[in-house]
Copies of this chain bind each other. A is one copy, B any other.
Amino acid sequence: MSRPRNDTLLRALLREPTPYTPIWIMRQAGRYLPEYNQTRARAGSFLELCRNPDLATEVTLQPLARFALDAAILFSDILTVPDAMGLGLYFSEGEGPRFERPLRDEWEIRNLQVPDPGVHLRYVLDAVGQIRKALANEVPLIGFAGSPFTLACYMIEGRGGTEFLGVKRMLYARPELLHTILDTNARAVASYLNAQIEAGVQAIMLFDTWGGVLSEAAFREFSLRYIEQVLSQVARSGNGLRVPRIVFTKGGGQWLELLAATGAEALGVDWTTDLGNARARVGARVSLQGNLDPAVLLTPVEAIRAEAQTILKSFGDGAGHVFNLGHGVLPQTPPESIGALVDCVHALSRRSS
C-alpha cells in the first residue's frame, strides 16, 4: 500500500514537513450540510445511517465533494462499542444519545464482554472498506473510538450530561467497579481500533470528551491510564504504513504533558488552550491538532479569517500542526463558512518555496 496522493495530514501528524497546514473538521459530515440531512432522512435515523455502510459511505464523502479537506473521517459514533456490548443505544430527538440498559448492578459490570468487532461491529468495518474504495487513496481516512472513560460516562449515566454524578459516585465510593468497566472498555476499544486499521483506516483518533470533568488525580487514574492501555494495544502501522494516533481530551489543556507521554503521535487541543503555548510545552514530542472555537464559524468571513490567522501564527512555522476546530462543528454553521475556513487555512499557511 502507498500513502494517499494528498498525504499532508499523515505527514503533519508525524511532524514531517508539508507544503501547507492540512485541515479537517470534527463532525465534517454532519447536520450543517443539507445533503447530509437528506441522506439521514432516507436512512430513517442517525443510528440506521451509522449501520448502513452504503449511506455511511455517502455521508463520509459529502464534505469532501464541497471542500478541499485533507482527510475523510469515518462516519460513525463513539457509542457503537457499548451498543455492541448490549446496552441498547438509541437517540431521543433533541436529547442526544441514550442507553436503554445503562449499567446499574454489579453483576452487569462484571459480566460486560469485549465485543468481537468482526461480528458485532461488522457494519463499521464494511463502511471503512467501502469508503477507502470510494476515496481511491486521494486523502487518508481517519478511524476513531471513544476513550474508555468517556464510554463509561455514557454507560453508567445512560446519557451525556454535565455533572456525571453517577460516575463520580462510583469513582469515589466503588473505584474497583469503575476500574472493571474501564479495563473492559480499553480492551474493547483497542480491539475495535485494530479492526478499523485492518479494514483500512490510515490514522486514528481517540475522543476523551469527558475526561476534563475530573480532578487531575482522578484523570490520571481513570482516564489517562486507560488511554495508555488502548494505545499500547493498538497497532502502530497498517498495511506497511504508520498509523498516527491522535488523542483528544476536551478540557484537558492543563494535562498536555501527561497526554504527550501516552505514546500518541498527536494531541487534539480545544480552543481554551493557546496553541503556541501548547507547542512550547509538548510540541517537541507530539503534533497538535486544533483549535478554532466552533462559534467563530457563525460570524462573518473576515472574523473567521482573522481567527484562523491568529491560530496559524500562534503555532508558528514548522511541522506538526493539523488545523481543526476545538470541538465538533455546530449544526447551525453555514456550509460556506467551512469552505472559507479551509481555503484560507491553505492559502495563509502555504510555505513559499
Contact = CB atoms under 8 A, between A and B. Distances in A.
Given A162-B162, A163-B295, A251-B251, A271 B215 contact: yes
Interface residues of A, number: 36
A216 B298 contact: no
Contacts of A215: 271-272, 274, 291, 293
Contacts of A295: 163-165, 168-169, 172
Interface stretch (A80-88, A232-240, A259-267, A299-307): A299-307
A165 B212 contact: no
Nearest to A326: B215
A244 B164 CA distance: 34
Interface string A171-205: 01100000000000000000000000000000000
Contacts of A282: none
Nearest to A215: B271
Interface string A269-281: 0011110010000
A353 to B, nearest CB: 29
Nearest to A255: B272
Nearest to A274: B216
A216 B214 CA distance: 21
B168 A296 contact: yes
Nearest to A311: B215
A172 B251 contact: no
B303 A272 contact: no
A176 to B, nearest CB: 13
Contact of A303 (B163, B173, B271): B173
A61 to B, nearest CB: 29
A217 interface: yes
A216 B272 contact: yes
Nearest to A306: B172
Nearest to A310: B217
A158 interface: no
Contact of A214 (B169, B272, B277, B303): B272
Nearest to A292: B215
A283 interface: no
A217 B163 CA distance: 27
A45 interface: no
A30 interface: no
Central interface residue in A172, A253, A330, by most chain B CB within 10 Å = A172
B254 A293 contact: no
Contacts of A291: 215
A216 B165 contact: no
Contacts of A300: 173
B168 A293 contact: yes
A284 to B, nearest CB: 20
Given A168-B298, A213-B272, 15 more contacts: A162-B162, A164-B295, A168-B296, A169-B295, A169-B299, A173-B299, A173-B300, A173-B303, A212-B272, A214-B272, A216-B272, A217-B274, A217-B310, A254-B272, A254-B273
A-B pairs, top 8 by smallest CB distance, nearest first, are A168-B295, A172-B299, A216-B274, A172-B303, A173-B299, A215-B271, A253-B254, A165-B295
Interface of A: 162-165, 168-169, 172-173, 212-219, 251, 253-254, 271-274, 277, 291, 293, 295-296, 298-300, 303, 307, 310, 330, 332
